[in-house]
Amino acid sequence: MKNKVIINGGGVAGLAMSLFLKKANIESVLYEQAKAYRKSGGHFVVHPSGLNMLEMLGLGSEVEKNTHFITDMAILDKNNNSLIDEDEMAEMGLDEIDLDDTPPFINAARYRLIDVLYQEALRQGIDIRFNKRLNGFTQDKDGVTVTFEDGSTDFGSILIGADGVKSKTRELLFPFPANPLKYSGKTAVFGMVDNDDLGKLKDYFTMDTTLMYVDENSIFFVSKHHPSAEEISWSLISERPGKLPKKDFEEKPVKELKKDIASKFEDWEMPIKELVMTTDHIIAKQLYMIDLMRHYYHGRVVLIGDALHTADPFAGMGTTLALEDAMYLAKMLRDNDYEDAFYYYEHDRKPRAEKVYKSAELINDPDAKFEDFAIFDEGIDAVW
């Protein structure tokens, strides 16, 4: 590639993109709007395919030191009764899965996985520039000129938008009314609790077993996200047809928000109510999404990760898709000019993205088989 690649967005997708480009011997510069990385954000599950991508970057050992490998999970109701028995698993085809031969899922705190990727990027000398908000870009036959809100500019062969659900790159590339963000009908609350603050709750929530509680319109997930269990993380994903005013959810005082959430678990067998009230680090979000994208790129600008897919949290595949996108796009850029690389990237990734998108709709489908879910796919050819 004649000139460097510019990456907008320094989350998991952008950092992974920079590392895979480095692996492909392609120079890049990464721009991140935050002033610095800090301990913030919730947790997420990375699927086996995503873990394969991290191992491909040589990060398997660091990931193991900084995340929790999910080797045991219980899916329960409010009375702590298992929701899936052996007969039901056989009907769904889940008994066909040999867990001994399947790479594990991992639960990761966002800030810890970001740090693993960031430290590796620093070690490899990748150029990362903070406090940079994208303002615009122009394209010509030679490349892309990018401008930032502080008035600075840069020039590169291509621009990769890795700037998340509310992507400025996507907004500029495909202006409204194309691909508008829509309220998804779901809310999410993420919590992290220090082990020292748990008190007697340690007996319930610091074991290796990951717990998932399923109610009529919500899923409560609680798990370690680090081998030491020095912290645990939880999340509550709920269906809510109507959007709330921000002052009644995202901007609501933490004490009031905790009381609202805890009240949902008033009569539950497990002390989830007490866990919520013990939590000081809470993030509440009303979730937005776009429809499946018809186009992944235009000219010299291309999208990856949540800027492209806005994966439904019920499918739990957002981070995995982002890691796969980064690997595959870098591989295509290594082997082709940017025009062919973008074409193959879009053509080859669309079926995977569509299956992930539809997987969330199958959660409540009693006739769904395990092969219908992207969760159980191999994901992507992990050969570099």
Position of tokens 């609501």? 252
Q: CB neighbours of 359 closer than 8 A, spacing ≥ 6?
A: 312, 315, 317, 372, 373, 374, 375
Q: Tell me whether residue 292 is exposed, middle or buried, using C-beta atoms within 10 angstroms of its C-beta: 0 to 12, 13 to 18, 19 or more.
A: middle
Of the pLDDT bands very low, low, confident and very high (cuts 50, 70, 90), residue 313 is: confident
Q: Which CATH superfamily is domain 5-67+109-180+291-372 in?
A: FAD/NAD(P)-binding domain (3.50.50.60)
User: CATH topology of 5-67+109-180+291-372 equal to that of 182-289?
Assistant: no
Listed by start position, the domains of the chain span 5-67+109-180+291-372, 182-289
Task: Tell me what the mean pLDDT of segment 71-75 comes to.
Answer: 89
pLDDT of residue 355: 87
pLDDT of residue 178: 87
**Mean pLDDT highest for which of 14-18, 82-86, 313-317?**
14-18
Q: Tell me whether residue 249 is exposed, middle or buried, using C-beta atoms within 10 angstroms of its C-beta: 0 to 12, 13 to 18, 19 or more.
A: middle
CATH code of domain 182-289: 3.30.9.30
Tell me: pLDDT of 340 over 80: yes
**φ and ψ of 375, to 5 deg:** -55, -35
* 165 vs 277: CA distance, rounded Å: 29
Q: Where are the alpha helices (DSSP H) in the chain?
A: 12-23, 48-56, 60-66, 86-92, 110-123, 168-173, 202-205, 254-263, 272-278, 318-335, 338-359
Of the pLDDT bands very low, low, confident and very high (cuts 50, 70, 90), residue 369 is: low
Task: Tell me what the mean pLDDT of segment 65-75 comes to.
Answer: 92
Top-confidence residue, 176 or 84: 176
Nearest to 255 by CA among 276, 285, 286, 231: 276
Task: Tell me what the mean pLDDT of segment 87-91 comes to.
Answer: 54
Q: What does the pLDDT look like over 104-131, one tens digit per residue? A: 899 999 999 999 999 999 999 999 999 9
Alpha-carbon distances, residue 138 vs 28, 155, 172, 343 (angstroms): 18, 10, 10, 21
Q: What does the pLDDT look like over 179-204, one tens digit per residue? A: 899 999 999 999 999 888 898 898 88
DSSP, collapsed to helix, strand or coil, labels residue 294 as: coil
- Residue 228 DSSP label: T
Top-confidence residue, 269 or 366: 269
pLDDT of residue 224: 92
Instruction: Return the minimum-mean-pLDDT range out of 11-25, 118-132, 227-241, 283-297.
Output: 227-241
Q: Which helix (H) or strand (E) holds 198?
A: none
pLDDT of residue 124: 98
Number of neighbouring beta carbons within 10 Å of residue 67: 26
Model pTM? 0.92
How do strand 297-298 and strand 301-303 relate by DSSP bridges?
antiparallel
